[in-house]
Amino acid sequence: MSIRLYVSRDAGALAVGADEVALALEQAAAKRGVAVEIVRTGSRGLYWLEPLVEVATPQGRIAFGPVTETDVPSLLDALASNTPHLVRLGATDQIPWLKRQTRLTFARCGVIDPRSLDDYRAHGGYKGLERALSLGSDAILTEVTASGLRGRGGAGFPTGIKWKTVAQAKADRKFIVCNADEGDSGTFADRMIMEGDPFLVIEGMTIAGITVGATKGYIYIRSEYPHAVEAMNAAIQAAKRGGYLGANIGGSTYSFDLEVRVGAGAYVCGEETSLLESLEGRRGLVRAKPPLPAHHGLFGKPTVINNVLSFAAIPFILAEGAKAYADFGMGRSRGTMPIQLAGNIRHGGLFETAFGVTLGELVDDIGGGTFTGRPIRAVQVGGPLGAYFPRALFDTPFDYEAFAARDGLIGHGGIVVFDDSVDMRKQARFAMEFCAIESCGKCTPCRIGSTRGVETIEKIINGERVSENLALVEDLCNTMKFGSLCALGGFTPYPVLSALKHFREDFIPAPTTLQAAE
Amino acid sequence: MTAVYEPWDETRGAEIIAEHSKQEGATLVMLHALQDAFGYVPAAAIPMVAHALNLSRAEVHGVFTFYHDFRHKPAGRHVLKLCRAEACQAAGGDALAARAEAKLGVSLGHTTADDRVTLEPIYCLGLCATAPSAMLDGRLIGRLDEKRIDALVAEAQR
């Protein structure tokens, strides 16, 4: 009898040795004359347990992790004799970290073989498209709007309204663009879903195409994600062969085609208008809005541009109905958010849950505190443009409005934890430095402001006229915030100002200077 | 594994460009394809891309210089990219980057004098839950510590 094993092929698992473990399993099994079938899945998102090895049993999957090459012989022994093992975790779906989640978008990630269209369909894939085809454009729009889904890229714009605008626009051609330029540090949900369940993204984009009358879509993936590029390309080919892309998709009268385009290392291209410029083959200079991409987008045509996670949420909404999605969440933040726990954290990974969970629950309870074992001092939420929150704000619920009310943002759902060794002056300087490196150069507040910001924070670090320079930085931040064309210059002040406000003690060196400053 | 690149050849360059001439807005696609083949984008290829896309040389040069990925000369035999973004900083990435710089005798963004190693910063590999992370010639490495960074540097220097 053949034993079926599951080992992730996710980039995060590969980085900690998943390929080596898979190879060792294969070789050790062959040596013992045991027949094994190793299925390479996406990641379950429990990264501290990667490489995770799962074994199919009549009672469901049993997990082992983290597994090293040297664990392999004893692991096979334990399997053969059904005895305990040091890294045996028990039934995968009973692992508390996984059991506590509400996986709507990531339900299949880590479970199925991402290269197999059959596996996708066997696990409920393409049910959303099926229902969408039977509903037609107007009814799909009603569903998407009723689900309350908001853009998961960070801006939180209602997806239903965006789609409706494009559906109503008159044009000879329309486009669907998937923003997979996931450049925020601390985020990896797009990467995981593209590598672990790529057909889900394709299905979501196809539904968008049917809804608004677009026949061509582009997925713009950053070049730092070669594994995601490969996975998406393979899935697109498989979907074409299976009749799910191309002419007459799923046997209908609709046509829809997809193409992957690869970025070239510019962070600003995650901004939607910059991304469109890049897709058109130009420098990623931000466009002024209006006109909105919904009216005047790719190649000047009406375009739906959404984040990977927005498209990935669509199949569930169509398959199970808007209410099933909207029943989760709080206030105007409906449904679930795939939250990413990262940085100096004990239990890092992907935690999909309904909106409303507090920051403290996420980092202390779910995340288990820091990896180094030192106290958490600061948490940056929402990537390089997100605010640093101190422990005093850990009661903030994960919700678009609640974070905005405290001068922060949830962005793409990335949470980076820092322990008490962090120097917030350095973090503030880095925010400006990163903006200076990545600024597209189109507007002055961002292009010049970020460089002046680095210089001024340098002076503060060197103890030069600290109080005056602090005032100058605050003033500069306001100019950038209100005067920049896009979120790069406009949001860089969030990490800087939050560092100044919540961690003031780091910026004011000695008590004598403190008196002078006050 | 070191990537093997072809030496620059105009006919081969023209072929690569022609393969993508039917794609809309193909500037980046062509530049990527050229760099994948030759390891960099030779200056002679810029006017060829411009001609294929009916753009000015200045426009293509502008695109080429805007994006961090494109190289105007070949990199060292090995390329070691260290993630320098916040999640890796939080996990001790600063000290590891400084260690790699000291061992190689070059700062980030530079190539060693013997052309063996190009050391580069990268802003996020999406391995933020197994930080700090790096990429050596396309291979990903997470949970870096002093021992692992030393091994990576040694491997790159071979």
Domains and CATH numbers, chain B: 10-66 (no CATH), 78-157 (3.40.30.10)
Instruction: Give A397's strand partners.
Output: A358
DSSP structure class, residue A116 = -
Predicted pLDDT of residue A508: 87
| Location of each CATH 3.10.20.600 domain in chain A | 329-419
Q: Verify whether the Cβ–Cβ distance B129 to A188 is below 8 Å.
A: yes
Nearest to B123 among A11, A185, A281 (CB): A185
According to the model, what pLDDT value does residue A250 have?
86
pLDDT 10s digits, A251-309: 899 999 999 999 999 999 999 999 999 999 999 999 999 999 999 999 999 999 999 99
What is the pLDDT at residue A511? Answer: 60
Say which of A12, A348, A380 has its CB closest to residue B86: A380
pLDDT value, residue A64: 98
Q: Where in chain A is the domain with CATH 3.40.50.11540?
A: 117-326
Do A437 and B109 meet the contact criterion of CB atoms below 8 Å apart?
no
Alpha carbon A161 to its chain centroid, in Å, reads 22
Task: Answer whether A258 touches B (CB < 8 Å).
Answer: no
Mean pLDDT of chain A: 96
| Residues of chain A contacting residue B88, judged by C-beta atoms under 8 Å apart | 185
Rounded CA separation B157/B136 (Å):
11
Identify the weakest region by mean pLDDT among A444-453, B1-10, B42-51: B1-10
Residue holding tokens 């208008």?
A273
Give the strand order in the sheet containing A388-389. A349-354, A336-343, A414-419, A376-381, A388-389
Is A371 within 8 Å of A344 (Cβ atoms)? yes
Interface of A with B in 332-361 (CB under 8 A): 340-345, 348-350
Residue of B nearest to A427 (CA): B86
A65-122 pLDDT, tens digit per residue, is 999 999 999 999 999 998 999 999 999 999 999 999 999 999 999 999 999 999 999 9
State how beta strands B117-122 and B78-83 pair. Answer: parallel
Whether the Cβ atoms of residue A56 and residue A92 lie closer than 8 Å to each other: no
Whether A440 has a pLDDT exceeding 50, the answer reads yes
Residue of A nearest to B26 (CA): A281
Q: Cβ neighbours of residue A388 under 8 Å, at least 6 residues apart?
A: A378, A379, A380, A424, A427, A495, A498, A499, A502, A503
Angle between helix A308-320 and helix A198-212 axes, rounded to 10 deg: 80
Backbone angles phi, psi at A120, to 5 degrees: -60, -45
Angstrom distance (rounded) from CA B78 to CA B82: 13
Chain B contacts to A (CB-CB under 8 A): 23-29, 31-32, 53, 59, 62-63, 66-70, 85-92, 122-131, 133, 138, 140-143
Closest Cα in chain A to B88? A343
Task: Indicate where chain A has its CATH 1.20.1440.230 domain(s).
Answer: 424-517
Residue A266 is classified by DSSP as -
- B128–A343 C-beta distance less than 8 A: yes
CATH of region A424-517, choose from 3.40.50.300, 3.10.129.10, 1.10.3720.10, 1.20.1440.230: 1.20.1440.230
Work out the pLDDT band at A352, boundaries 50, 70, 90: very high
Residues in chain B within 8 Å Cβ distance of A281: 25-29, 53, 63
pLDDT for position B4:
85
Mutate to test the interface with A, among B34, B128, B149 (most CBs of A within 10 A): B128
Does position B1 have pLDDT exceeding 90, yes or no? no
> What's the pLDDT at A154?
86
Residue A496 to residue A460: CA distance in whole angstroms: 13
* Cβ-based burial of A6 (10 A; exposed 0-12, middle 13-18, buried ≥19): buried
Cα separation, A164 vs A179, in Å, equals: 19
pLDDT at A518: 44
What is the DSSP secondary-structure string of A280-341?
TTS--PPPPSSSPTTTS-GGGS-EEEEEHHHHHHHHHHHHH-HHHHHTSEETTEESEEEEEE
Contact list in B for residue A380 (CB cut-off 8 A) is 86
Q: How far apart are CA A78 and CA A51, in angstroms?
A: 18
Do the chains contact at B126 and A417, CB–CB below 8 Å?
no
> Rounded to a whole number, what is the distance in Å from the CA of A139 to chain B's nearest CA?
33
Pairing state of beta strands B117-122 and B110-111?
Answer: antiparallel
Return the H-helix or E-strand segment holding A119: helix A117-122
Q: Do A262 and B32 touch (CB under 8 A)?
A: yes
Dihedral pair phi/psi, residue B70, rounded to 5° = -80, 135
User: CATH assignment of A117-326, given 3.40.50.11540, 1.20.1600.10, 1.10.10.10, 3.10.110.10?
Assistant: 3.40.50.11540
One-character DSSP codes across A460-495: HHTTSSHHHHHHHHHHHHHHHHHH-SSHHHHHTHHH
Give which of B125, B115, B126, B99 is closest to B156, Cα–Cα.
B115
Q: Average pLDDT for residues B112-141, to the nearest whole number?
A: 96
Query: Tell me, what amino acid is at A219?
Result: I
Q: Percentage of chain A surpassing pLDDT 90? A: 96
User: pLDDT value at position A510?
Assistant: 62
**CATH, domain range A3-99:** 3.40.30.10
Nearest chain B residue to A192 by CA distance is B126
Q: Is A278 helix (H, G, I), strand (E, B) or coil?
A: helix
- List pLDDT tens digits, range B71-84: 999 999 999 999 99
Above 50 in pLDDT, residue A517? Answer: no
A3-8 and A53-57 strand pairing: antiparallel
For A315-340, letters b (16+ CB in 10 Å) and e give: bbbbbbebeebeebbbeebbbbbbbb
Q: Which band of pLDDT confidence, cut at 50, 70 and 90, is reported for residue B124?
A: very high
Pairwise CA distance, residues A229 & A242, whole Å: 20
A vs B: CB pairs below 8 A: 154
Contact residues, chain A, for B133 at CB < 8 Å: 15
**Mean per-residue pLDDT for A325-339?**
96
Cα(A496)–Cα(B86) distance, rounded to whole angstroms?
Answer: 13
The pLDDT mean for chain B works out to 96
Mean pLDDT calculated for residue range B92-110: 97
Q: Is A423 on the interface with B (CB under 8 A)?
A: no
What is the assigned CATH class of domain A329-419?
alpha beta
CA distance linking residue A396 with residue A7, whole number of Å: 36
- pLDDT category of residue A1 using cuts at 50, 70 and 90: low
Are A282 and B128 a contacting pair at CB < 8 A?
Answer: no
Q: How far is CA A28 from the centre of its chain?
A: 36
Question: What residues in A contact B126, CB-CB < 8 Å?
Answer: 11-12, 182, 187-188, 190-191, 224-225
What is the b/e burial string over A467-503, where b = at least 16 CB atoms within 10 angstroms of the residue's CB? Answer: eebbebbeebbebbbeebbbbbbbbbbbbbbbbbebb
> pLDDT at residue A516 above 60?
no
Question: What stretch(es) of chain A map to CATH 3.40.30.10?
Answer: 3-99
From A404's Cα to the closest Cα of chain B, the distance in A is 21
If one counts every other C-beta atom within 10 angstroms of the C-beta of residue A172, the result is: 5
The 3-state DSSP class for residue A184 equals: coil
Whole-number pLDDT of residue A32: 94
Q: Is A130 exposed, middle or buried (0-12, 13-18, 19+ CB in 10 A)?
A: middle
- Residue A43 neighbours by CB under 8 Å, 6+ apart: A8, A10, A12, A13, A50, A52, A109, A110, A192, A195, A196, A350
Give the chain B residue whose CA is nearest to the CA of A419: B90
Residue A28's alpha-carbon distances to A34, A38, A88, A459, in angstroms, are 9, 13, 18, 60
Q: pLDDT per residue over A158-186, tens digit each?
A: 999 999 999 999 999 999 999 999 999 99
HSE toward the beta carbon, residue A310, CA cutoff 13 A: 32
The residue behind tokens 């082992």 is A64
Q: Which of A47, A266, A349 has the CB atom closest to B66's CB atom? A: A266
Per-window interface: A 9-38 vs B, CB < 8 A? 11-12, 14-16
Contacts of A261 in chain B (CB under 8 A): 28-29
Residues of chain A positioned with their CB less than 8 A from the CB of B92: 344
